[in-house]
Amino acid sequence: MESTTLTAKEESKQVKRMKRSETWRKVKRNKMIYLMILPGLIYFLIYKYLPMYGLIISFQDYKPYKGISESEWVGFEHFTRLFTSSEFWMIFKNTLVLFGLQVFIFFPIPIIISLMLNEVRHSFFKRGVQTLIYIPHFMSWVVIVSISYVMLTLDGGIVNAIVDSLGFEKINFLLNDAWFRPMYILQVIWREAGWGTIIFLAAITAVDPQLYEAARMDGANRFRQMWHITIPAIRNVIIVLLILKIGDVLELGFEHVYLLLNASNRNVAEIFDTYVYVAGLQQGQFSYSTAVGFFKGIVGLIMVVFANWLAKRFDEEGIY
């Protein structure tokens, strides 16, 4: 029979063809599904990927009336300008300091609150506290900053009224560069610390109660139980969230910082995002500000990849 004398080559060709037609059949069978995801795909292409293509204007002297195709190429000029600018190190340092505050001051707080909540035995008390501390998360930064403002302002703000009644001189928190960083991190804590407990509390719930029972038998007090059982149990979650935080290194909240920024605290409050906004949209330096944003984005990407690699090295799961 002829069919049995097919060479191996021809056979594999046929298998390939069959596979291809199999794939094609699957595609055809799911054509309605492709129709469903099409609008979403178009959205991501236009509003997420087209801007990535737009990053090439950071190598041009982009003029809006000329467009990308007609604008002149200038190579790394804008990056050189950024790195040699006297403001670069100020912005770099400000960004780094706020990042440090996020990691070292803010990050442990939800963990501590979760551990405290976990020790509460009356569930109505626990739920009550949770209900209240979640609230600020749903407020916009405008509301958070506005409330801080009416409380901290010089005339009529309750904080200064208290400072005054204690016999100290009133402090102009809002226009004082020494108070910007504490104010920033306190607002972050106020808005996010409560909400941040959710994930840790969920991880704690998964701990086997028998472990505590056994520890109690061995005479471990509550701190020891916390230290030897609860914390190791949520270690994984802590590490994953820390990676996410590090990956967010330069996402310090444009809105938040922009709302707090003013001429008197600019030397500590100007970060890459606010700098991009002012240079780009207020002063119209599109190419230069795009270069600044590009630099920030690349550093952010490197940090995520690095953090993930670090986690894998420590034999944790990583995030992707």
Partner 1 sequence: MAKQRRISAGSRVFDYFNYFLLALLALITILPFIHVVGSSFATSAEVARTKFLLFPTEFSLKAYEYIFSTDTIFRALGVSVIITVGGTLWSMFFSTLTAYGLSRRDLVGRRAINFMIVFTLLFNGGMIPTFLVVQQTGLLNTLWALVIPVTINAFNMIILRSFFMNLPAGLEESAKIDGANDFSILFRIVIPISLPAIATISLFYAVTYWNTYMHAILYLADADKWPVQVLLRQIVVLASGMNYDAEAYSDVPPPEVTVKMATIVVATVPVLLVYPFLQKYFAKGALLGSVKG
Query: Cβ 313 to partner 1, closest distance in Å?
Result: 20
Is residue 168 involved in binding partner 1 (CB under 8 A)? Answer: no
Rank residues 54 and 182 by Cβ distance to partner 1 and give the closer one. 54
Stretch that binds partner 1, among 1-9, 77-85, 93-101, 109-117 (CB under 8 A): 109-117
Is residue 229 involved in binding partner 1 (CB under 8 A)? Answer: no
CA angle 189, 195, 160 (to 5 degrees): 30
Is residue 314 involved in binding partner 1 (CB under 8 A)? Answer: no
Query: Cβ 232 to partner 1, closest distance in Å?
Result: 19
* Positions 69 through 108 that interact with partner 1 (CB under 8 A): none
Query: Cβ 240 to partner 1, closest distance in Å?
Result: 8
Among 101, 113, 185, 249, binds partner 1 (CB under 8 A): 113
Residue from 243, 252, 239, 247 nearest 300 by CA: 247
What whole-number distance in Å separates Cα of residue 319 and Cα of residue 36? 28
What whole-number distance in Å separates Cα of residue 27 and Cα of residue 32? 10
Residues whose CB is less than 8 angstroms from the CB of residue 102 and which lie 6 or more positions away in sequence, other chains included:
185, 188, 245, 252
Is residue 165 involved in binding partner 1 (CB under 8 A)? Answer: yes
Token output for 255: 């809105």
Stretch that binds partner 1, among 7-15, 75-83, 94-102, 137-145 (CB under 8 A): 137-145
Residues whose CB is less than 8 angstroms from the CB of residue 195 and which lie 6 or more positions away in sequence, other chains included:
110, 133, 134, 136, 137
Token output for 92: 């770099």
* Positions 189 through 228 that interact with partner 1 (CB under 8 A): 190, 194-195, 198-199, 202, 213, 221-223
Among 59, 141, 179, 180, binds partner 1 (CB under 8 A): 141
Is residue 33 involved in binding partner 1 (CB under 8 A)? Answer: yes
What whole-number distance in Å separates Cα of residue 274 and Cα of residue 91? 10
